[in-house]
Amino acid sequence: MSTTNWMETDEVGLKLALEQAHKSYNEGGIPIGCSIVASDGTVLGVGHNERIQKSSATLHGEISALENAGRLKAQVYRDATIYTTLSPCLMCTGAILLYKIPRVVIGENSTFLGGEDLLASHHVQVVVIDDPECKELMNRFIREKPKDWNEDIGEE
Amino acid sequence: MSTTNWMETDEVGLKLALEQAHKSYNEGGIPIGCSIVASDGTVLGVGHNERIQKSSATLHGEISALENAGRLKAQVYRDATIYTTLSPCLMCTGAILLYKIPRVVIGENSTFLGGEDLLASHHVQVVVIDDPECKELMNRFIREKPKDWNEDIGEE
C-alpha cells in the first residue's frame, strides 16, 4: 500500500468518484462514489452507493460502477484503475479481485478501513490519497445518519 | 471446510438454489442459483446469475439473492445460511464476509473453486455437498456457452 504514486491523470478519476459521492449525498444517500477508468483515460463506468435510493444491499459505489460499466472483456478490467472515495469493503474488494483490476485509488480510509491488505496480498496496487473532501463528506454523513452507515457495513 | 455436516433441513435451501439455477438456464442464462435462509427456516431471499438476462457484471447468484432480500438488519444475516449451487467467487465471498453470514452450503466446487479458504479463514462454516445435479447443470452450460462462463469469472 502506498500514499504516494498519485499521478496527475488520477485527478480526473477521483474527481468523477467525488462527483458521484456528492450526487448520492444530495439524493439523501450514502456519499460514496466510484469511477473505473482505462489506462488511456476512457471512462468505463461511474456509480455511487444506492442503499437508500434503491433499498439495495449490494449496490455499494464500486459494485454500482461495475454494474453501470456493463459486460466488459477481461482485458478491459485488467487495464483499468478503479477510483473510490472510501476504502472498499470486502464485497467490493472481492469484485476488484474477481475482475483482476490491477490498481485501486482510494480517497480515504480513515472513516472505514476495508480490504487494502487483501488487495495488496493479491498484488493489486493500492494508492490512498487521504483526501480532505472525501473525509469531510463521509464524516458528515456518519454524524447525520449513523444507522444507515452502520447497516451498510453490516454492523447494525 | 467440510463435506459432512449436511443437515436434513438444508435440503430446502439447496433445492431453492437449484430451482433458481434451472430457472436461469431455462432463460438462456448462467445456471447458478442461490437462497438465503434464516435458522428458523424463513426464506430471506433467492436469486440467480443475471449476466446474460440483464447484461449484468455483478448479479451473480449470491449477489442477486442478497439484493432480492433487500435491506436487512445485521443480526438477520448473522443468523442465516446461504446456499449456492456453485462455489462463490471472490466478490460473492466478500459479500458473505461483509454481512458476516456464518454458514455457506455449496452445491459443488468441482467446476469452479472460489473463496472457500478465505471464508474458512474468517471462521465461516463451509459445507460442500458435491451434488451431482449441480455439477451436471454447470458442466452442460460450460460446454454450451464457454465464452459466457469465462466472462463471468473474469477470464475472457
Grid coordinates representing A4 are 504516494
| Structural contact between residues B17 and B85, judged by C-beta atoms closer than 8 angstroms | yes
Look at residue A44 and tell me if it is in a domain: yes
Look at residue B127 and tell me if it is in a domain: yes
The total number of structural domains that make up chain A? 1
| Structural contact between residues A149 and A137, judged by C-beta atoms closer than 8 angstroms | no
CA pair distance A28, A37, nearest whole angstrom? 26
pLDDT score, position B133: 97
Overall pTM > 0.80: yes
Look at residue B13 and tell me if it is in a domain: no
Residue A2 has what DSSP assignment? B
CA pair distance A87, A92, nearest whole angstrom? 9
Q: What is the pLDDT of residues A45-95, one digit of tens each?
A: 999 999 999 999 999 999 999 999 999 999 999 999 999 999 999 999 999
pLDDT score, position B9: 75
Instruction: Give the residue from B64, B90, B149, B152 with the most A CB atoms within 10 Å of its CB, the best one to mutate.
Output: B90
Look at residue A11 and tell me if it is in a domain: no
CA pair distance A31, B127, nearest whole angstrom? 37
Q: Per residue in A117-146, is it b (16+ CB within 10 Å) or e — as a string?
A: ebbeeeebebbbbebebbbebbeebbeebe
How many Å lie between the alpha carbon of B124 and the closest alpha carbon of chain A? 14
> Which residues in chain A have Cβ-Cβ distances shorter than 8 Å to B67?
56-59
Least CB–CB distance from B73: residue in A58, A73, A156 = A156
How many Å lie between the alpha carbon of B98 and the closest alpha carbon of chain A? 6
Environment class of residue B125 by beta-carbon count within 10 Å: exposed (0-12), middle (13-18) or buried (19+)? middle
Look at residue A134 and tell me if it is in a domain: yes
Instruction: Give the residue from A54, A58, A124 with the most B CB atoms within 10 Å of its CB, the best one to mutate.
Output: A58
Which stretches in chain B have pLDDT values below 50?
3-4
Q: Which domain holds residue B142?
A: 19-153
Q: What is the pLDDT of residues B137-147, one digit of tens each?
A: 999 999 999 99
Look at residue B14 and tell me if it is in a domain: no
The pLDDT-based confidence of A127 (bands split at 50, 70, 90) is: very high
Question: Where residue A91 sits, what CATH number does that domain have?
Answer: 3.40.140.10
Grid coordinates representing A16 are 468523477
Grid coordinates representing B81 are 445460511
pLDDT score, position A109: 97
pLDDT score, position A4: 47
How many Å lie between the alpha carbon of B72 and the closest alpha carbon of chain A? 8
Look at residue B91 and tell me if it is in a domain: yes
Q: What is the pLDDT of residues B81-108, one digit of tens each?
A: 999 999 999 999 999 999 999 999 999 9
Grid coordinates representing A143 are 454524524
CB distance from A113 to chain B under 8 Å? Answer: no
CB atoms within 10 A of CB B136: 12
Give the residue on B whose Cα is nearest the Cα of A59.
Answer: B67
CB distance from A73 to chain B under 8 Å? Answer: yes
Say what the ipTM of the complex is. 0.95
Look at residue A43 and tell me if it is in a domain: yes
Would you state the torsion angle of the CA atoms of residues B76, A119, B122, A57, taken in this order, to the nearest 10 degrees?
Answer: 10
More confident residue, A2 or A110: A110
* Interface A-B: count of C-beta contacts within 8 A: 92
Q: Is A57 within 8 Å of B74 when comparing Cβ atoms?
A: no
> Which residues in chain B have Cβ-Cβ distances shorter than 8 Å to A72?
57
